[in-house]
Structure 1
Amino acid sequence: MAEEMRARHGGPARRARATAVVAVGAAVTAVSAPAGAPGAPTGRAYSFVAGGAPVILEAPDGTSLNELLAELGRWAGRPRNLAADGFTDPSLTERTGLPLVEPFGDELLEMRGWAYRSHWIGCGSVATSHLERTVVVIAEREDPAVTGFPDGASWVEKLRILTGWEPVPQPAVDWRAVEADLGTSLPSDYKEIVDLFGPGGFDEYVDLLVPGALGMDLVDWARSEGYPAPKELLRWGSSEQEFDFVWQTRTANPDDWAVLVGQFGEWERFDCGLGEFLVRMLTDRRYGFPTSRLHVHFFQRALARNPGGSPPGGIASGDGDAEHRRGNTGAERPQKRPGRTAG
């Protein structure tokens, strides 16, 4: 793949640039794919990324840096600005993208970076021998859950650090209108998460219901499931694993709502806010979710606006006391842990 990227493309310059953008995007996807996943490299190539120096890929001559940034940003979100006009941010650390700029020294002109799954991905330009080259850099990324969070960080801030997410411009949610449609206020950390991340999912395991999201509109789902009947359960998330992610909305203060996770009407209760639940779901093996076994975590954006239509399905009924379900690895979660609630 690296040889393909270095090869010169024939034809008009615009066609060459477009081809380069697609080629670089495909290369980054392949090199940064988790081991064993479709498209992931094997043997020496993958071990080099996972345990060695950063991989540097050169784009063909004539490749537009802006087009390349747009292509990578389409699926990786908004980049961090690591270097501009020959000036590198002196505050960079291993946690904020330093591995992407270290290989170039004074030759670096521009560098934008993304935290994507278990890697840092950088895209920029380098000046050598009076020539400017467009490059893509891929480096290993450490798990913030292991290296530690800043003192005093909120659960939502921990979630952002954990996933390496940088907010992208998006239409603001009219929370007053949303809460009027639902007939209830919503937890403050949920609103903060939606404003920060927008529509999408964590670790390809749980997807957020977001007002206005395509097929994942919080209000549409609530209406289709007859909220607040029958048990005052309000869905906030969905999973391909056939699990229901809901709040139990029986308390007047939405910030006190418990998180329930269930399957076929059997519920496990977590007495904590949504932000804390998501961080612990991704990192705390005592919670028993398969996501806690992953090395690094990520958020994947989804389409923002729903043109209409009602969501399928519904929340199964149950007594709220069951402690059993399965994860996407097929491994059964422990049926008994210390206490009925987690927090």
Structure 2
Amino acid sequence: MELTQSTISDLLTRLGPGPRHLRLPGDLDPQDLVDLLGDRFGAPRTLVLDGFTDPTVEESGGAALLVPFAGRAVTIRAWAYGDQWVGAGTARDTEGVERPVLVVAHRKVPQPLAVAPGEDVDWLERLRRITGWTGPARRPDADWAEIESRLGTALPSDYKRMVETFGDGAFDGYLGLFQEPWADRGEGGLLVWAGTEHEDQYCWRADGDDPDRWPVLVRSFDGDDLVFDCRTAEFVCRILVDPHHPYTMARYFDTHWFMGYGTGD
């Protein structure tokens, strides 16, 4: 079997929404399978390594992917994608032979409760819940003092928590979170902290001494600007789940996730 992205698409179509799994030919390199899925879905989470299951794995972290193997999984990597878990690696069959496997399972992420008027909300924790994020902090040692010194300004605290928590990647594989904002040289005071594949820029206008009070400004690819009087993490939460938001992603996905780039945990 020659592994290509087209082959992967065909295999996932055969599996459907799951839960189902396929045992693949023994001469297939399981690392090639993992690499191709990583190119498509981002950095994976390791559920099983050398026969040892991560003890922190639970339903919200892809545990359903391990059910078909009844303790015989050798190495399983997992990806969250919309309402689906995708897993790949190796497992022993009933005769003890280790073979490459591909597995899918349903992924359910509970939606957060509605926000009451005037309620004090931790929007970063809300964002973790919306995306079902269970991984460890990706950039807990980010040197914000050095970054802020280089930019000449402090940065919003919830943005820094987002970067520390999620690291390099994109919400719903679409809204890319920049690990360091950059200044728009065409207009003073504008810092760009995220962007989309449609070339929309998500910014702050750095007015005032308190960055936690900076509103979010969206500059679309055609140059139009819209300003939203909310903080960064709240803005991301709202575009993920509010179908009436001008930049909503809720029209396209019922379940949301964060696609991490780079090395998986």
TM-score (norm 1): 0.61
Instruction: Give the letter aligned to residue 16 of structure 2.
Output: V
Question: Contact (CA 8 Å) 1:95, 1:144: kept in 2 or not?
Answer: no
Instruction: Give the letter aligned to residue 182 of structure 1.
Output: L
TM-aligned CA deviation for residue 69 of structure 1? 3.4
TM-aligned CA deviation for residue 26 of structure 1? 4.3
CA deviation vs aligned residue, 1:289-335 (integer Å, no higher than 9, x gap): 330121222334568xxxxxxxxxxxxxxxxxxxxxxxxxxxxxxxx
1:146–1:257 Cα change, 3 Å: closer
1:115–1:147 Cα change, 3 Å: farther
1:125–1:161 Cα change, 3 Å: farther
Question: Contact (CA 8 Å) 1:111, 1:122: kept in 2 or not?
Answer: yes
Q: Which consecutive residues of structure 2, in runs of 5 or more, have no partner in the other structure?
A: 115-119
Question: Contact (CA 8 Å) 1:207, 1:238: kept in 2 or not?
Answer: yes
Structure 1 Cα separation of the partners of residues 234 and 170 of structure 2: 16
CA deviation vs aligned residue, 1:270-295 (integer Å, no higher than 9, x gap): 32x21121122111224343301212
SS in 1 for 2:65: helix
Q: Number of residue pairs matched?
A: 253
1:302–1:287 Cα change, 3 Å: same
Q: Confirm whether residue 227 of structure 1 aligns to residue 154 of structure 2.
A: no
Flag the structure with higher strand content: 2
TM-aligned CA deviation for residue 187 of structure 1? 0.9
Q: Confirm whether residue 285 of structure 1 aligns to residue 243 of structure 2.
A: yes
Match of 2:117 in 1: none
Question: Contact (CA 8 Å) 2:137, 2:164: kept in 1 or not?
Answer: no
Flag the structure with higher helix content: 1
TM-aligned CA deviation for residue 172 of structure 1? 6.2
Instruction: Give the letter aligned to residue 125 of structure 1.
Output: T
Matches for 1:69-108 after TM superposition, within 5 Å: 69-88=34-53, 92-108=57-73
Structure 1 Cα separation of the partners of residues 128 and 6 of structure 2: 26
1:91–1:226 Cα change, 3 Å: closer
| Counterpart among 2, 6, 16 of residue 49 in structure 1 | 16
Question: Contact (CA 8 Å) 2:87, 2:102: kept in 1 or not?
Answer: yes
CA deviation vs aligned residue, 1:56-88 (integer Å, no higher than 9, x gap): 122321334445434433443443332345454
SS in 2 for 1:130: coil
SS in 1 for 2:59: coil
Structure 2 Cα separation of the partners of residues 159 and 27 of structure 1: 34
TM-aligned CA deviation for residue 224 of structure 1? 2.0
SS in 2 for 1:297: coil
CA deviation vs aligned residue, 1:233-274 (integer Å, no higher than 9, x gap): 332223354644222332322122222335544423232x21
Match of 1:270 in 2: 229
Structure 2 Cα separation of the partners of residues 248 and 292 of structure 1: 26
Question: Contact (CA 8 Å) 2:136, 2:165: kept in 1 or not?
Answer: yes
| Counterpart among 218, 222, 226 of residue 261 in structure 1 | 218
1:252–1:169 Cα change, 3 Å: closer
**Matched residues, percent identical?**
34
1:274–1:121 Cα change, 3 Å: same
Matches for 1:1-343 after TM superposition, within 5 Å: 4=1, 19=2, 22-23=3-4, 26-29=6-9, 41=13, 45=14, 49-50=16-17, 53-88=18-53, 92-127=57-92, 128-145=94-111, 154-164=122-132, 166=135, 173-211=142-180, 218-219=181-182, 222=183, 224-228=185-189, 233-241=190-198, 243-263=200-220, 264-271=223-230, 273-293=231-251, 294-301=253-260
Greater Cα shift, 155-164 or 94-103: 155-164
TM-aligned CA deviation for residue 97 of structure 1? 1.0
Higher relative contact order (CA 8 A, sep 6+): 2
Question: Contact (CA 8 Å) 1:49, 1:140: kept in 2 or not?
Answer: no
TM-score (norm 2): 0.75
Question: Contact (CA 8 Å) 1:77, 1:168: kept in 2 or not?
Answer: no
Structure 2 Cα separation of the partners of residues 118 and 280 of structure 1: 19
> What RMSD over aligned residues (CA atoms) do the two structures have, in Å?
3.6
Structure 2 Cα separation of the partners of residues 94 and 65 of structure 1: 24
Q: Which consecutive residues of structure 1, in runs of 5 or more, have no partner in the other structure?
A: 5-18, 33-40, 212-217, 304-343
1:299–1:256 Cα change, 3 Å: same
Question: Contact (CA 8 Å) 1:115, 1:163: kept in 2 or not?
Answer: no
Question: Contact (CA 8 Å) 2:178, 2:194: kept in 1 or not?
Answer: yes
SS in 2 for 1:193: helix
